[in-house]
């Protein structure tokens, strides 16, 4: 307390020019770079909205995917460069809401949900609101020091990038070789699917995070590189078909994540023992 008071007293003795220099001190480039990546991701989300308005849905989908990739890079870049900051965290949340809440909702509405105007707009709003609630809850829970360490292996609710990728599944089916129609007859099914993804985002159902995947065993390096190269090649040639497969695999993993979470929770309870 005495240090704080002495700092306040010394601060009052500073000249206005010195106080201004303290406020506008230099920021390391390692802090700036992750924020630039976040802004690039935000630009991709806004670009997706533009192409959705113009009816260029395939380009809009690719812009959302680019935003998802950049969103995965900015946090890792910040941690690698030790450039994490409160400003960067807030900027990332705002960008995520646009990229993975607003952009997919508008994309689906302009594509097919507008066929049933009120209900279609309601589904788009529900998805965007669920994304906002999901991000707000994530920000609060990340600051909780009482969380067990194993909770870091899971997301509470579907993460917003995964929600944006999976909610566009009907559009992938339309743009793929299956050519699922975007007609009024199919719109109610699309609406139900969007509401289901919105529920998964707003719920507390645990999902695998994959954040703690660390070093790769040496004997698996070549197979992983080969598999990653093949996946990227297929994604470049058949983007919609690969996105369909990835979305279905992710949705299929949800029950396994829930079962694993419950098993770890029971393990922890057995260690702690019953309450006195």
Q: Where are the domains of the chain?
A: 28-269
Query: What does the pLDDT read at residue 20?
Result: 61
Query: What does the pLDDT read at residue 214?
Result: 56
Instruction: Return per-residue pLDDT of the chain as tens, 276 residues.
Output: 444 444 444 445 666 666 666 565 667 788 888 899 999 999 999 999 999 999 999 999 999 999 999 998 888 888 888 878 888 888 999 999 999 999 999 999 999 999 998 999 999 999 999 999 999 988 888 766 667 777 778 888 999 999 999 999 999 999 998 888 888 899 999 999 999 999 999 999 998 887 655 566 777 788 888 988 998 899 889 999 999 999 999 999 999 999 998 988 888 777 765 544
Taking the C-alpha atoms of residue 127 and residue 158, their distance in angstroms, rounded to an integer, is 12
Chain centroid, CA 5 distance in Å: 42
Query: What does the pLDDT read at residue 9?
Result: 43
For domain 28-269, the CATH architecture is Up-down Bundle (1.20)
């Amino acid at each position: 307390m005495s240090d704080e008071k002495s700092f306040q007293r010394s601060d009052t003795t500073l000249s206005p020019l010195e106080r201004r220099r303290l406020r506008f001190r230099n920021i390391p480039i390692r802090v700036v770079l992750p924020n630039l990546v976040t802004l690039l991701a935000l630009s991709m989300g806004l670009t997706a909205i533009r192409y959705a308005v113009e009816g260029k849905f395939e380009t809009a989908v690719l812009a959302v995917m680019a935003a998802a990739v950049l969103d995965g890079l900015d946090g890792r870049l910040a941690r690698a460069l030790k450039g994490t900051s409160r400003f960067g965290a807030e900027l990332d949340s705002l960008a995520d809401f646009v990229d993975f809440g607003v952009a997919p909702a508008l994309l689906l509405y302009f594509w097919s949900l507008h066929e049933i105007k009120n209900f279609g707009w309601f589904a788009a709003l529900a998805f965007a609101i669920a994304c906002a609630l999901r991000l707000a809850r994530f920000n609060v829970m990340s600051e909780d020091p009482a969380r067990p360490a194993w909770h870091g292996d899971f997301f509470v609710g579907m993460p917003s990038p995964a929600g944006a990728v999976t909610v566009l599944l009907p559009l992938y089916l339309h743009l793929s070789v299956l050519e699922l129609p975007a007609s009024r007859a199919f719109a109610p099914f699309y609406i139900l699917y969007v509401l289901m993804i919105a529920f998964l985002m707003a719920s507390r159902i645990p999902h695998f995070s994959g954040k703690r995947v660390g070093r790769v065993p040496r004997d698996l390096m070549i197979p992983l590189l080969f598999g990653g190269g093949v996946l990227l090649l297929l994604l470049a040639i058949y983007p919609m078909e690969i996105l369909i497969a990835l979305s279905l695999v992710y949705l299929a993993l949800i029950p396994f994540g829930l079962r694993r979470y419950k098993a770890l929770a029971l393990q922890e309870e057995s260690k702690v023992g019953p309450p006195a």
